[in-house]
Structure 1
Amino acid sequence: MYLAVFSAVLGNFNFGYSLVYSSPVLSKFKSPDAEPRLRMDTEQAAWFGSIYSLGAAAGGLGAMLLNDLTGRKLSIMMSAVPSTVGYMLMGGAVDLWMLHLGRFLTGVAGGITAASIPVYISEISHKKLRGALGSCPQITAVFGTLTLYALGLVVPWRWLAVAGSVPPLLMVVLLAFMPSSPRRLLSLGREQHAERVLRWLRGSDYDTHVELSAIKQSIEAQANITWSQLATPTYSRPIVISVVMRFLQQMTGITPILVYLEPIFAKSKVTLEPRYDAAIVGAVRLLSVAVAAVLMDKAGRKNLLYSSSMLMFLSSLTLTMVSHTTPCPPGPAPPNLTALHHSPHEDLGSAFQAAPQTAAGLIPLISTVVFIFGYAMGWGPITWLLMSEVLPLVARGKASGLCVTVSWLTAFGLTHAFTHLVDSYGLYIPYLIFTVVCVLCLLFNAVCIPETRGRSLEEIENYFRTGRTFTINQSDPSVLPS
């Protein structure tokens, strides 16, 4: 089971790597020293940063068909094709269209994996480990992001693209030896194959009959679902919850912050160099998703979402105030030719004046680190996990594709507008929007999101069908809200 999960989440590593590819390379394309045919203005840079999200939305739409036609595993493997072609286009780019097309294709691959991998993992995982394993996609995506930031310190932008083509190829090789999910096999009527796969996933001593029976019953109950039935609250409510979660997750501003991280730090006048700030944020993000993986099945989904929303709110509020009150830095003062001689007291005074400015220069970095930490321990991994848990089993393939499409269309619009908002109003307006959205995340979690810790997929679906809470027991006191 762990090997199958690892093989699949290599696609998420590639997703995290490709998402932030623009962060260290945009400054090179906007530089006067850039190759003339690759030099970008503000509009072209906005498209290069945001077109990835447009590709991811297209990949999500494709996943709606691929998930049910070919199965989750083959969908994940097929994402390697646009990913590899996209990286090769960017690595060998001689014109802007090659950069934009390559970035779009890597986004298509990211959209397919984002819709398929969480569902595949949820269907092969045991319910007691589904929370921890369900956070693995986010962990590996963050690790991919950190790898890109680290390589960006020393590797030229063309070789960054070439290096990105390695993980998807490795993923295809490993997944070729991994099984399809037992649920997929049972839906195709291949019961004996499904039993062998489940025994391979759970171990030779595991009694597969109970789990196989539960899966078969849920499949049989869904065999004749019509479109009109999908419009009933039993099915529409979890779909709406998942779609709104994905919308709010993107509206917190996480994608433009990650995509434009180095330019944001440059505008924030952070004391350290932006490229080092980005690497620090990547490391903190990796730590926070590891914390979320440990706490997912202990603290519960809702508690982590509350903590995540509050940390994001406080940090985005701080960034809003700092960006609103920080004046434009003054230009260099002309030298005072008459003051050729000065006392040590004047040097000491200058040092005291510089100290608060240095400390203030760390506030945007600290606040961004807290924001990323909060996001990566809650609204990052948990929304993907909850999407794979609460979506109706009968429509999981199409519904997950819909969620990813909505998510990345939102990300595209926000990421494209972000550059223009910053150029027109500075960072204040975007940060203010993100602060308001964090409040909405708190309210949505309180009212709409159920607690699914320790429950099987069949139990979760039965909750939406009946509207009743789960029975409280000694071993797991968590309940779903009525």
Structure 2
Amino acid sequence: MGITKNRDIEKADNKSVVKDLEKPLIDDKKNVGEKDHKESLSMVLFSTAVAVCGSLEFGMCVGFSAPAQSAICNDLNLSVAQFSLFGSIITIGAMIGSVTSGRIADSIGRKGSMALGSVFCIAGWLAVYYAMGSVLLDTGRFFTGYGIGIYTYVVPIYIAEIAPKELRGGLTTLNQLMIVTGSSISFLLGTVVTWRTLGLTSLTPSVLLIAGLMFIPESPRWLAKEGRDLEFDDSLGKLRGPKANITAEAAEIKETILALQSLPKARVLDLFDPKYIKPVIISVGLMICQQDGGINGIGFYASETFQFAGLKSGKAGTIAYALIQIPITIVGVILMDKAGRRILLLISASGCSLGCFLTGTGFFFKSQAIFSEWVAFLAVSGVLVFIASFSVGMGAIPWLIMSEIFPLHIKGAAGSLVCIVNWLGAWVVSYSFNFLINWSPEGTFWLFSGFSLLTIVFVVKLVPETKGKSLEEIQATLNS
């Protein structure tokens, strides 16, 4: 009897303790004001801003060739074939960077990988600036390619791993926003400064990134994977704010890590295991769809395309191309966590197909010497429709989905595979674009239009919706 009474008292005391523990947590949640909410997001936003300096560098690298083409060819006496090599060799460097990016990110962390990418980009731009011939010019372009190949993988991965799930889509899409911003800056600056000055200016984002890395935390998921528990708690605490209760999120991350630690270290061949083949097909397929739509050919040589269409100078079209990307990408960022990934992909692919069809039709009229007054309008408006459509979805979402759907223990191998597929496609398109245009301008753009139609079919059949789900919930959905 006495024992029973003591147990009842102990239970009552335990309930009282639980209530006392819960009460401040509940009260804190109710009393968290706007100021506290901002404080809890400030480090996530700052860390994202630092990381996307790599994306800005990416954009300035790929945007450099379009406004600089004529001046470089004249100053260094380059042929069309030599400039095609210069324009496309960045993708070869990026392919090699992509092969190593996953392993580098797993070995030295997300911050260390971004720092390494910055060093290569800075060295590359200095080589371009001092180049007096094609050898140093191509070497610098290759180095910048290697640097952005690392950025390609690690920037969206880092952002996805630090962001709260309700903000992950929008924050990760800032990666694409900064890419198009960098491209637009290069396009606009290239109309008013020399190509050497443009090259020197283009190393600025990498310098800012290296400086910013000193003030942001490492990815908590990577730290948990490495068993660095104290640093993990510190990193997650900084990212969620001093008043946030990180217990549940930390437990979920660690539980996932513990489950993954029992699995062997993934190799590329392991990606073809039946349990991983679905995310591999989705990610690789989206990268093929992104590149086969023609973005790197159209973007790298936009100025020459506008002149070929009949504009006296490509500058007006190039400026319009630069200005349209940023606001449309902002729309995509806003809609990412509201409309969802799939619907934006479908809208984007449809617009890309329409834009390439219009441009191809304009060039067809030119080749047939009919409706000559429509040629320039259709060609230029088609390119602008294409880039606007690409910016709202096809530019960012394949990278976002890639960062979301792979389990943590295979992200390194999977990221390398996906990135090399993307950059291989980029090289094929960027290197062959000038030759394809000389063969058949209308055929080239109609081919791109057809690939965008195939993208619609692929998205409808295979791509899942990941909006509003944690990384762990996405894994559970794919494995169900």
Fold-level similarity (TM above 0.5): yes
| Equivalence for 2:71 | 28
| Equivalence for 1:445 | 459
Q: Percent identity?
A: 31
- Distance in 2 (CA, whole Å) between partners of 1:418 and 1:426 is 10
Matched, 1:70 2:108: yes
Q: Please identify, of 456-465 and 426-435, the stretch whose mean Cα deviation from structure 2 is larger.
A: 426-435
Query: What is the CA distance between 1:377 and its match in structure 2?
Result: 0.4
Contact 2:337-2:467 at 8 Å conserved across structures: yes
| Equivalence for 2:213 | 175
- Distance in 1 (CA, whole Å) between partners of 2:146 and 2:338 is 35
Q: Please identify, of 356-365 and 159-168, the stretch whose mean Cα deviation from structure 2 is larger.
A: 356-365
- Distance in 2 (CA, whole Å) between partners of 1:293 and 1:442 is 21
Matched, 1:297 2:350: no
| Equivalence for 1:187 | 225
For 1:378, what is the secondary structure of its paired residue? helix
| Equivalence for 1:340 | none
Deviations 1:319-340 (A, max 9, x none): 222212213779xxxxxxxxxx
Deviations 1:8-49 (A, max 9, x none): 00011010001121111111233xxx33xx211121111011
Gaps of 5+ in 2: 1-43
Query: What is the CA distance between 1:167 and its match in structure 2?
Result: 1.2
Matched, 1:12 2:26: no
- Distance in 2 (CA, whole Å) between partners of 1:115 and 1:161 is 24
Contact 1:315-1:371 at 8 Å conserved across structures: yes
**Which of 113, 130, 147 lines up with 2:168 in the alignment?**
130
Matched, 1:309 2:349: yes
Whichever structure has more helix as a proportion of its residues is 2
Deviations 1:423-452 (A, max 9, x none): 2x2312221220111011000000010000
Contact 1:90-1:102 at 8 Å conserved across structures: yes
For 1:34-73, what aligned pairs fall within 5 Å after superposition?
A: 34-35=74-75, 38-73=76-111
- Distance in 2 (CA, whole Å) between partners of 1:455 and 1:141 is 25
| Equivalence for 2:422 | 407
- Distance in 2 (CA, whole Å) between partners of 1:456 and 1:406 is 26
Query: What is the CA distance between 1:359 and its match in structure 2?
Result: 5.4
Contact 1:20-1:258 at 8 Å conserved across structures: yes
Contact 1:55-1:104 at 8 Å conserved across structures: yes
For 2:324, what is the secondary structure of its paired residue? helix
For 1:135, what is the secondary structure of its paired residue? helix
| Equivalence for 1:436 | 450
Give the aligned residue type for 1:245. Answer: L
Give the aligned residue type for 2:349. Answer: S
- Distance in 2 (CA, whole Å) between partners of 1:232 and 1:205 is 43
For 2:430, what is the secondary structure of its paired residue? helix
For 2:476, what is the secondary structure of its paired residue? helix
Task: State the Cα RMSD in Å.
Answer: 1.6
Query: What is the CA distance between 1:370 and its match in structure 2?
Result: 0.8
Contact 2:360-2:379 at 8 Å conserved across structures: no
- Distance in 2 (CA, whole Å) between partners of 1:248 and 1:361 is 27
Deviations 1:392-419 (A, max 9, x none): 2211122112211110011111211111
**Which of 39, 46, 66 lines up with 1:3 in the alignment?**
46
Query: What is the CA distance between 1:225 and its match in structure 2?
Result: 2.2
- Distance in 1 (CA, whole Å) between partners of 2:413 and 2:320 is 37
| Equivalence for 2:308 | 267
| Equivalence for 1:161 | 199
| Equivalence for 2:293 | 252
Aligned residues: 434
- Distance in 2 (CA, whole Å) between partners of 1:364 and 1:137 is 29
Q: Please identify, of 211-220 and 184-193, the stretch whose mean Cα deviation from structure 2 is larger.
A: 184-193
For 1:40-439, what aligned pairs fall within 5 Å after superposition?
A: 40-226=78-264, 230-270=271-311, 273-327=313-367, 360-423=375-438, 425-439=439-453
- Distance in 1 (CA, whole Å) between partners of 2:52 and 2:412 is 18
Query: What is the CA distance between 1:260 and its match in structure 2?
Result: 0.5
- Distance in 2 (CA, whole Å) between partners of 1:190 and 1:69 is 13
- Distance in 2 (CA, whole Å) between partners of 1:243 and 1:176 is 34
Give the aligned residue type for 2:200. Answer: V
Give the aligned residue type for 1:8. Answer: A
**Which of 458, 463, 474 lines up with 2:477 in the alignment?**
463
| Equivalence for 2:18 | none
- Cα distance, 1:16–1:229 mapped onto 2, change above 3 Å: closer
- Distance in 1 (CA, whole Å) between partners of 2:137 and 2:232 is 43
- Distance in 2 (CA, whole Å) between partners of 1:102 and 1:148 is 17
Deviations 1:351-384 (A, max 9, x none): xxxxx85554222111111111111101101111
For 1:70, what is the secondary structure of its paired residue? helix
Query: What is the CA distance between 1:204 and its match in structure 2?
Result: 1.7
Query: What is the CA distance between 1:79 and its match in structure 2?
Result: 0.5
User: Using CA pairs below 8 Å that are at least 6 residues apart, which structure has the higher relative contact order?
Assistant: 1
For 1:222, what is the secondary structure of its paired residue? helix
Deviations 1:212-261 (A, max 9, x none): 11111111111132458643332221022111111110110001111011
Contact 1:235-1:464 at 8 Å conserved across structures: no
Give the aligned residue type for 1:27. Answer: S
Query: What is the CA distance between 1:73 and its match in structure 2?
Result: 1.4
